Structure 1
Amino acid sequence: MAAKKKSKALSEKQGVEKLPSLSQDAAAKIKEKRKQVKEASTITKKLIEGDKTALSQAITLIESTAIKHQAIAKAIIEQCLPYSNNAIRIGITGVPGVGKSTFIESFGKLLITENYKVAVLAVDPSSSVSKGSILGDKTRMEELVKEDHAFIRPSASGSSLGGVARKTREAIILCEAAGFNCILIETVGVGQSETAVHSMTDFFLLLKLAGAGDELQGIKRGIMEMADAIVINKADGDNVKAAKLAKTEFNRALHLYPPKESGWVPKTLTCSAITSEGVDSIFKMLQLYFTEVKENKYFQEKRNQQNKYWFLQTIKETLQRDFFEKPSVKKELELQLNKLQRQETTPFEAAQKILELR
């Protein structure tokens, strides 16, 4: 009887000991959630006050793939949304060597004199081998980076197509919440996939070089028909004549394209980013553009279209990620890849086998 009582007491004691372990797990989760919310609120508060360090920290969090960082990043974006959507967004693209960074520095300095706060989101190409990027835009814009009303953030493109980094869209929201009213997005370079930037900016500026054998390539459909303006850079010294000739050629080419929905007629200008000659003309053209598209209501219409695009794009990316995370899909994927290597199936048959697991 005594042994039975002892066993019952021990059992009750063990039961009591088990309960705290469950409540401790729950308490730990609640504590972690509160910690994340508090951390997000602290960063957001500083960011909204214009703290560049907090802005950099927030962008790092949204670019992180760590689950604990994603939770904080989501909270920051939600808290920043009411303070965004109040800036002009300009995409700047062109072939490597066209002088994008030099142009952005010259143009950014002019914008600051016109009472703009400028954020530059520069996307560096990632190595397909090492996956690394130089991220050297701050060193190339050594004068602009010193300005109080400027913020430069280089990001690696990673595996993203479209010439922009994976989280550039969210970074725009954060920059706007931090009080930057002009966002300049420098893309990787011109290519067939260099189009995502067009779906997140209000104005698309294409930089070109004169006498680089690029005129015929530029006339091809694709990147050029999306451009709201073409700027022939490096129009200085002995290159002035060639730049003027290129301007004429590109003007002719622009007439081959159908009218834009905005009603805006794309312009071709020349400039020298080094001497800043012609940069003021580009600013005046931008003023004219934004006046025109705001009056005819196209500005807001395009923003609505962009929101719809990124809404659908986010669903697509999330479904794709979740699909490939399924254990059954991972197992079948490995099996089909081995079959492909042994040439026992075709890519199409293998894909169909994977898709049957939806």
Structure 2
Amino acid sequence: MGTNLMVRKNVFSSTLREAMSGSKPEQEEPRADETLSEPPAPPGTSASHQDENPAPASTSGKRSNPNVEIFRKSFQEQMLRTMQDVDPDRVDSSRFQDRLDVAEELDGLKDSIRENGQQVPVLLRRVAGDRFEVVYGRRRILACRQLGIDVRAMVVEISDEDALIAQGLENAARLENSYIEKALFVAQVTDAGYSLATIQKALDIDKTQASKMRGVIRDVPREVIAAIGAAHGAGRRPWEELRNALSGDDAPGQARLLKMIDEGLPSHERLKKLLVLLRQTRRTEHAAPAPDVKIGNGDFKLDRTPRSLTVKAHRNAPEAFLQHLEENLERIYQEWQNDNA
């Protein structure tokens, strides 16, 4: 498995720098030992029998990110110069995951590769020993691994930051990742300490967009996101609606939320139905508030919502009871945990 593994240094990084600066890449003369054949389709372009679904030509009038366009157009020559066949079992995952489920709809991709070959290469960089790390193309690598064949790859030496930018630019060119997958990617990159400028380069988003994405990931539990899935086709608005619905005191807890998600539905329908249920729950609870619970002949009153419990004392109530309650809350909680273990 695998053929001569030659790594071209700096070629790919220079392409990225030119894309970031908006300049036209310089053309390098092919070396004598490099055989040029009919090039495969660069990221984001059309090709017959493609093994990934590229972004279609824009018909909405929205202009493409210039960096993405320069990156895409300069890719073809770089691919010809760094193409190799690599054993997919020697490829490790990248630090930053840009898909919630890499195996989603993998059977169609495997069928395409089996029938027509792998038309679009993946991008790898060499790590320790004879191992490689994927920059992008995780689904193609998984498909080739399951098919028992080598994966066609570009192998380059680039920095961590260049690898991140390349991963983001390729995703932007393909337009396959959903809003929540991009938001998770932004959160991972931010948590790793990369600057906002790097994030903007990689994903073509501004500071406000990045902030909103981080807010969604912060306020919506990861388990809930995983249960909903990628929700392709659902943009920013429904996820922000979910975030807002979960930020109030009357929001259901995580366990209840997970039970509200219908895993029998397609991912985007799960999100849609969950929002409907949350709206219905809010209307019901606001229309019929729970009655107050009185303790000790009305000395104390409990106000209960799904996310809060307030103890209100009458002006003649013994304040010592409130202190006693406060001092024993930890013990009460531990007893509850033991009883429900």
Fold conserved between structures, TM > 0.5: no
TM category, shorter: under 0.3
